[in-house]
Structure 1
Amino acid sequence: MKVISSSQLTNLINTGDVISMAALSSGNMPMALFKAIVEQFDHNSTPRELTFLLGNDISDFRGDGYDLDDFVKRGMVKRLITSIITGSPATIEAMRNGDIEAYYLPQGVIATHYRSQTPNSPGTITKIGLHTTVDPEHSGGKVNSNTTEDLVTRVEIEGELYLKYHFPEVDVALLRGTYADTKGNIFMHHESHLGEGYSVAAATHRNKGKVIVQVKEIVPHGQYSPRDVFIPGELVDYVVVNQDSKYHRQAIQTYYDPALAGHHQITEMREPYLEFNTRKVILRRAAQLLQKDDVVSIGFGINNELSNLLVEESAHDLVQLNIDTGVFGGMIGSRAYFGMNYNLDARMRHDQTWDFINNDGLDIAFLSFAQIDQHGNVNVSKFGDKMNGCGGFIDISQTVKTIVFSGAMTVGGKLHYDNGEIEVVAQGHTQKFVDAVDNIDFNASYAATLGQKAYFVTERAVFELTPEGLMLIEIAPGIDLERDVLANMSFKPIISEYLREINVAIFNQQWGGLADVIKSHKRT
């Protein structure tokens, strides 16, 4: 291991290199390394033609640092392989225009594939992604027409169909830790999540690439327990000590909060309870599908606010929430508090979390939707002018037995709630329930072969996936079936002969009934 300054990064990264990292948003993002590489390019126009291999989006959000957009805007990036991009507008525009090649592949497959890239393994072969947009029978994960190389192929093993993912070897790992000791061992004491940095470093080392780690400080060997080593020094080539705190933020909102690193617990939520609105109504109804002791995966978007609701309803101790980045239990922040996760039961490496998920660790998943069709297929990744990617949606929705898809009935719909009285003020300008989805991220017919159950919860109605298609099973009180539900769908769903009303109590300003529902041990 060699300690270098950021200015000494010059020529460590070459034109055409494949670069990998293990960051999420600003968490674990080695921004000081980004700054040095971008400044090198501004000075001598290299490196170019880079490939970025990322499990998650990397975005500064605050506007005072460096992130993926800084590389893309300078024309430094040839190809991007990731699962999701939401906070990098210049990158999204470049993908839309075909200025860069781009692939959206399942997050769990990306995070765990490094372990399969060895001389003793045939590579990454899995059923995850079959019959979805990443299957070569669909788009193979290609984002635009300028992306032509097949990174996903179908293979048959002992009569079973699988997907084989062909990831490039990593030339440079850009990673981040809190401390490095004098032997190059990396510690993650202050980081809000662990990421898959160990696996990235190991794969890069095997490929005789360069492993570069940004840290806050160099400490004497032996100062910290060997049990706390996250990346052993044998896998680390270079360490750069960051000199500016804004380039090493623990989360978007803060440089360092000990509670975010699990060093102590807080006694009350740092964020206010959700305002009473349509999102809260949807979450209240969706949460009634929980059972006591469920291990729950919560997706981003509306479901990221599930923790907030559970705390308000004094029901957070009845289930264990899990975010696929490695967050288990606790109070999980949302909106402006995204990334601020407190009182965790455990935090695991990103890739280990996917091991947990792939080995039936979850009981139920709460996911979002952008489009749903008459068969129950779901699109979350590419619709209209949006091209967010699938994230961990495909991995999770093909492993868990019960799935709750939550979202508003339409885009732009407005409802008024007054002590249980519901009025549709605006029906909405774009339908989400369509004849055929633009992109298949959840394949309903394949889900049936896996024995999965799926529910679709909106503020006006609740649907269930059946072998015959989408079935309407509940309607909100005061809602007109024809005008407020069916007229906002491009197809007519099956209507249950036992169609019932959603509990009117959840449409009141105050509720307080969720804990009793969860403890009833009945998904209603």
Structure 2
Amino acid sequence: MSAKLLGVAEAVALVADGAALWIGGSGAGHGVPQAFIDELAATFTRTAAPRDLTTVRVVGIGDFAQRGLSQLALPGLTRRTIGSNIGNEPHLGAMVAEGAIEAYSFPQGVLSALCRDIAAGRPGHLTHVGLGTYVDPRQTGGRQNARTTEELVQIVELAGREWLFYPALPVDVAVIRASTADEDGNLTFEHEPILGDSLALAMAAHNSGGIVIAQVGHLTTRGSLPPNQVRIPGALVDHVYVDAEQRQTYRTGYSPYFSGELRRPYGTAAPTPLDVRKVIARRALLEFRRGDICNLGFGISQQIGAVAAEEGVAERLTLTVEQGIFGGVPAHGPDGGAGVNYQARLEQPSMFDFYDGGGLDLASLSFAQVDRHGNVNVHAFDDRMRGPGGFINISARTGRLCFVGTFTAGGLRVDLSGGLPRVEREGARRKFVDEVREISFNGPLALGKGQDVRYITERAVFALTADGLELIEVADGMDVEKDVFAHMDFRPKVSERLRPMDARLFRAARMGITFGEED
């Protein structure tokens, strides 16, 4: 094997004190070089080096518990961290909340595009994404605590419009993951669930004078990889190490369906049980139209793909996931970010080009808070640090939007056994508030752009109007005053055409959705 091959401990030793370390991959282990993270944490615990790193990842990396960047929550290891969702990394998030390290939260698509901009030698990323949200420097500029003082985001006037400018960042070391490397360091991704930002990140590090390190599951001889399968040429890769136990995600060791090597028969997926989350996913699916190109966000929205498959209509939609899955059925739960039976597996920057340009017909995204103006907060609530992921990019230009969530949070229990929702215990926390804590989606700006917006819960559906929120549907058996308005901080307008929510939502049987007039 060439001199590029080394052990993971040797790879970690290449990271100098104060380095800008970018780690590839996404969410719950998708494309994550986990062996490097394990070894970095172990090395620092043993030697107190390297110190004062700036850690950057496009997507939050972690299992919402111990694995991932939570392992790097070690005093002295990190000085600054930059990402789109620290919610996957609760221990690191706790350090940010305590003010122990600096932290910035930027939209996922911005960081993804920035990899390409850095590779191209551009000064940064200029975009409309983030205007009027918490990332706007007139709000927080993406700074996540009082310790973080440097302004990284700027407002720019160009061609008669306002834009946000996100400056290029240093890339001293980039660690990515692939399936196979040959002796020259050429990389293929045949077993990976996503391509992510790997190519753009490798180019960014190489063109910045940095080091590119690749984790792979397999090695092969020089010249044995089909050139049409090589995603990253060996000339861009400085070092390779092998993790023979490499998994596709933290949950799934290997699925040929996730890597696109096989197609999963639609009939093999077991129906999901009826619960509040499924009711909301079903109601959101009724907003979809035959032939729509859609994005399904994190949480409840991930379940829409499973509901569409259960109803036999998944192939009538083009469902997408920001990590690059185009078509098919997105995975949900711990494997969210992957997909099966997809048409194509794109690189993540290209997917966000499509989103930022308004390519989607509809998106379904989660909400944590909604206020009287239609603003949505998805990233800043409770005491735990989180982030928006791709939410801000996806919601910025999509013509039709569904924001989905339970009506209240914190212990909500709803009985569906009688074919109608009955609240057994109300949630302790209101989600419809006078003013959201921070703005992830700006309702008034959306109205100005002509976006059609729905807010969907298990008991009521609202629309965004010039007068703010308007109640347009309520579930049978729910009292508007007692079960809806009494649990809101404001009183919305009521539509003159207020109607009941579809009764089929609350029954265990298939709804019979066809995207025809009968739906």
TM score, norm. by length of structure 1:
0.94
Mark the CA change 1:12 to 1:460 in structure 2 (over 3 Å): closer, same or farther.
Answer: same
Whole-Å separation in 1 of the counterparts to 2:378 and 2:160: 31
- Where does 1:434-453 land on structure 2 (aligned, <5 Å)? 434-453=433-452
Q: Corresponding residue for 2:78?
A: 77
Q: Corresponding residue for 1:329?
A: 327
Q: Corresponding residue for 2:8?
A: 6
Deviation by residue 1:326-365 (Cα, 9 ceiling, x = unmatched): 1122232222554552212111111111122223321000
Whole-Å separation in 1 of the counterparts to 2:79 and 2:312: 49
CA contact (8 A) 1:271 1:333 kept: no
- Where does 1:142-181 land on structure 2 (aligned, <5 Å)? 142-181=143-182
Whole-Å separation in 2 of the counterparts to 1:98 and 1:426: 36
Whole-Å separation in 1 of the counterparts to 2:267 and 2:42: 41
Whole-Å separation in 2 of the counterparts to 1:9 and 1:153: 36
Shift of 1:308: 1.0
Q: SS at 1:465's partner residue?
A: strand
Q: Corresponding residue for 1:44?
A: 47
Mark the CA change 1:40 to 1:421 in structure 2 (over 3 Å): closer, same or farther.
Answer: closer
Aligned residues: 515
- The alignment status of 1:343 with 2:341, answered yes or no, reads yes
Bigger mean CA deviation after superposition, 12-21 or 72-81: 72-81
Letter of the structure 1 residue corresponding to residue 4 of structure 2: K
Mark the CA change 1:69 to 1:269 in structure 2 (over 3 Å): closer, same or farther.
Answer: farther
- Where does 1:46-445 land on structure 2 (aligned, <5 Å)? 46-59=49-62, 67-117=68-118, 121-242=122-243, 244-245=244-245, 248-268=246-266, 272-338=270-336, 341-411=339-409, 412-445=411-444
Whole-Å separation in 2 of the counterparts to 1:304 and 1:149: 36
Whole-Å separation in 1 of the counterparts to 2:386 and 2:63: 17
Q: Corresponding residue for 2:21?
A: 19
Q: Corresponding residue for 1:491?
A: 490
Q: SS at 1:514's partner residue?
A: coil
Letter of the structure 2 residue corresponding to residue 212 of structure 1: I
Mark the CA change 1:107 to 1:336 in structure 2 (over 3 Å): closer, same or farther.
Answer: closer
Bigger mean CA deviation after superposition, 170-179 or 445-454: 445-454
Deviation by residue 1:58-109 (Cα, 9 ceiling, x = unmatched): 125685xx53122223531111110012232211111110111111100000
Whole-Å separation in 2 of the counterparts to 1:52 and 1:406: 32
Mark the CA change 1:269 to 1:324 in structure 2 (over 3 Å): closer, same or farther.
Answer: farther
- The alignment status of 1:519 with 2:491, answered yes or no, reads no
CA contact (8 A) 2:371 2:436 kept: yes
Q: Corresponding residue for 2:508?
A: 509
Q: SS at 1:448's partner residue?
A: helix
Mark the CA change 1:336 to 1:107 in structure 2 (over 3 Å): closer, same or farther.
Answer: closer
Q: Corresponding residue for 2:468?
A: 469
Q: SS at 1:258's partner residue?
A: coil
Shift of 1:493: 0.4
Stretches of structure 1 lacking an aligned partner (at least 5 in a row): none
CA contact (8 A) 2:123 2:168 kept: no
Bigger mean CA deviation after superposition, 116-125 or 444-453: 116-125
Q: SS at 2:481's partner residue?
A: helix
Whole-Å separation in 2 of the counterparts to 1:299 and 1:161: 27
Bigger mean CA deviation after superposition, 277-286 or 333-342: 333-342
Shift of 1:476: 0.8
Q: SS at 2:156's partner residue?
A: strand
Bigger mean CA deviation after superposition, 411-420 or 391-400: 411-420
Whole-Å separation in 2 of the counterparts to 1:410 and 1:460: 10
CA contact (8 A) 2:375 2:441 kept: yes
Letter of the structure 2 residue corresponding to residue 343 of structure 1: N
Mark the CA change 1:444 to 1:338 in structure 2 (over 3 Å): closer, same or farther.
Answer: closer
CA contact (8 A) 1:61 1:252 kept: no
Deviation by residue 1:258-286 (Cα, 9 ceiling, x = unmatched): 22211111224665322112111111111
Mark the CA change 1:205 to 1:416 in structure 2 (over 3 Å): closer, same or farther.
Answer: same
Whole-Å separation in 2 of the counterparts to 1:60 and 1:431: 27
Letter of the structure 1 residue corresponding to residue 242 of structure 2: V
Whole-Å separation in 1 of the counterparts to 2:63 and 2:184: 31
Shift of 1:400: 0.6
Deviation by residue 1:438-475 (Cα, 9 ceiling, x = unmatched): 01000011112221110011111110001121111111
Letter of the structure 2 residue corresponding to residue 47 of structure 1: P
Whole-Å separation in 2 of the counterparts to 1:340 and 1:201: 22
Whole-Å separation in 2 of the counterparts to 1:347 and 1:26: 17
Mark the CA change 1:177 to 1:422 in structure 2 (over 3 Å): closer, same or farther.
Answer: closer
Deviation by residue 1:410-438 (Cα, 9 ceiling, x = unmatched): 11333222443332222322111000000
Q: Corresponding residue for 1:32?
A: 35
Bigger mean CA deviation after superposition, 407-416 or 36-45: 36-45
Q: SS at 1:3's partner residue?
A: coil
CA contact (8 A) 2:119 2:200 kept: no
Whole-Å separation in 2 of the counterparts to 1:368 and 1:158: 34
Whole-Å separation in 1 of the counterparts to 2:302 and 2:420: 27
Mark the CA change 1:432 to 1:150 in structure 2 (over 3 Å): closer, same or farther.
Answer: same
CA contact (8 A) 2:188 2:232 kept: yes
Q: SS at 2:203's partner residue?
A: helix
Whole-Å separation in 1 of the counterparts to 2:253 and 2:278: 31
Stretches of structure 2 lacking an aligned partner (at least 5 in a row): none
Whole-Å separation in 2 of the counterparts to 1:485 and 1:8: 59
Q: SS at 1:261's partner residue?
A: coil
Q: SS at 1:40's partner residue?
A: helix
